[in-house]
Amino acid sequence: MILHADGNSFYASCEQIFRPDLRGKPVAVLSNNDGVIIALNKEAKATGIRRGDPYFKVRDICAGKKIAVFSSNYTLYADIARRITSIYMEYAPDIEEYSIDESFLFFDQCSFTKQDWYDIGRELKQRIYKEVGMPICVGVAPTKTLAKLYNKKAKEHGGVFVYDKDEIDPLLEKTDCGTIWGVGPARAARLRQRGIRNALSLKHMSLYEAKKLMTIQGFATVQELNGIPCIDKIIRTKKDVITSSRQFSKRIYDIPTLECAIVQYAELAVERLRQQACECKAVSIYISTCNYYSDNPDEQYSNGAFATLPRMTSYTPDIVDAARTLLPRVFRYGYGYKSIMVTLMDITPAACQGNLWIDPREDIKKRDFMSSLDAISQSYGRGAITLAKGFERQGWEMRRSFLSPCWTTRYQDIPKVH
């Protein structure tokens, strides 16, 4: 059996943890630039506001209904997610962190009764609420697709819901196809054309037809609805691409401002590349005037460009320069740009040697520098570290066999030890 645990209105609940006075009151969280609503708790949903609503359109309603509105704080949410995961790990030997607020827990033994699963689920729910302050729901079923479905239905069952083979078909019959994991709006529409509306008919669909209609993924979904595990645990050690993008609140008409943004978001992307101890071989940028309504199509323009780097690297200046150099190739005057995107591609784990060089003009005390080394080894894994007065560059120079190269030319970039 697989246990699926999911934080309720995760972002909104995170904010409530630090504002106990908001318990039971409506809470909403906004995207970057306070553009749209990305999370709502149950009380906020009841006011009629929906996820994805532009904030400027519903600002008055929010004020009128006394909804507490927050700008998003992803660092906080990630920290809370970490604490929750550490509790999950006490329960299951094997965990898949599917997203920031969702995990699959895989259990070894299968001798548990239905009641045992309810006990485990309820205990888990209580502990997470008591120790972290996050309300969660739990679904238990033989496959990931069914576990997610049971989780969704758990809200009407006190927060914990366990599979029962005698109850599954009536449950599926009451479930719309589109709510099944892996069936989005497009596939739901195609299924409807074939007269398949509820999840029970989807379960009984022929595998041949499922594959023809919804690719191999649809095949897997149908198998999973029949209780046959088909979607493996995903073990991810690195991302395939790293994207850093933003929609601006104002239109940008000139190259320098756009270039500033490209540099900034390229730096963010490289930061994440290093965090996963990887290097990349290519970078691309994309700029767009994309607007959502009432715009003259003649004013729309978007373009992207791609560059292969001379070598595998995680060296910020090289990657940032490459991204910046692409800009003149895609920029056209006369357009007001609304969004940019920087993507790092061809990512592979780094296993080469790196040098860290400190500019001598910064006059760093050797003792301070040594204490930073501890932090570096914690971040980048073990390796032999040598510290010496640099010969070639006349500064402090550190050589070590990095698991990943840590390139920097500024002392303040080095993580500090407290």
Q: Which of 18, 19, 24, 35 binds DNA (CB under 7 A)?
A: 35
Query: Minimum distance between the CB of residue 268 and DNA, rounded to whole angstroms?
Result: 7
Residue choice 15, 96, 101, 279 for contact with DNA (CB under 7 A) = 101
Binding to DNA, residues 215-274 (CB under 7 A): 215-217, 234, 236, 239-247, 249-251, 265, 272
Q: Footprint of DNA on residues 304-363 (CB under 7 A)? A: 338-339
Residue span binding DNA (CB under 7 A) among the ranges 96-104, 105-113, 121-129, 392-400: 96-104
Q: Is 297 in the site for DNA (CB under 7 A)?
A: no
Instruction: Choose between 90 and 240: whose C-beta lies nearer to DNA.
Output: 240
Whether 46 contacts 26, CB under 8 Å: yes
| Cβ-proximal residues to 306 (8 Å cutoff; 6+ apart), any chain | 282, 283, 284, 326, 345
Q: From the CB of 148, what's the least distance to DNA, in Å?
A: 6
Site for DNA in 111-150 (CB under 7 A): 148
**Opening angle at CA 177, ends 176 and 180, nearest 5:** 105
Binding mask 143-182 for DNA (x = CB under 7 A): -----x-------------------------------xxx
For 241-301, the DSSP string reads -EEEEEEEEEEE-SHHHHHHHHHHHHHHHHHHHHHTTEEEEEEEEEEE---SSS--GGG--
Shortest gap between Cβ of 250 and DNA (angstroms)? Answer: 6
Q: Does 184 bind DNA (CB under 7 A)?
A: yes
Produce one character per residue of 347-359: b if its CB has 16 or more CB atoms within 10 Å, e if not.
beebeeebbbbbe
| Of residues 124 and 191, the one with the C-beta less far from DNA | 191
Size of the site for DNA (CB under 7 A): 49
The DSSP bridge pattern shows strands 337-349 and 278-288 to be antiparallel
Q: Least distance in Å: CB of 91 to DNA?
A: 20
Number of neighbours of residue 328 by Cβ within 10 angstroms:
10
CB-wise, 249 or 394, nearer to DNA? Answer: 249
Instruction: Please tell me the distance from the alpha carbon of residue 30 to that of residue 37, in angstroms, as a whole number.
Output: 5
Closer CB to DNA, 51 or 399, in the complex: 51
Please say which residue, 152 or 400, places its beta carbon nearer to DNA: 152
Residue of the chain from 120, 132, 183, 326 that contacts DNA (CB under 7 A): 183
Rounded CA-CA distance 332/328 in Å is 8
Buried b / exposed e along 63-80 (16+ C-beta atoms within 10 A): eeeebbbbebeeeebeeb
CA dist 246 and 283 (Å) reads 17
Gap between the Cα atoms of 201 and 180, Å rounded:
12
Nearest approach, Cβ of 286 to DNA (angstroms)?
11
32 touches DNA (CB under 7 A):
yes
**Which tokens go with 158?**
């006190």
Structural contact between residues 28 and 69, judged by C-beta atoms closer than 8 angstroms: yes
Does 100 interact with DNA (rule: CB under 7 A)? yes
61 binds DNA per the rule CB under 7 A = no
Question: How many whole angstroms separate alpha carbon 224 and alpha carbon 221?
Answer: 5
Interface contacts to DNA, rule CB under 7 A: 31-33, 35-36, 38, 52, 54, 56, 98-102, 148, 180-188, 211, 215-217, 234, 236, 239-247, 249-251, 265, 272, 291-293, 338-339
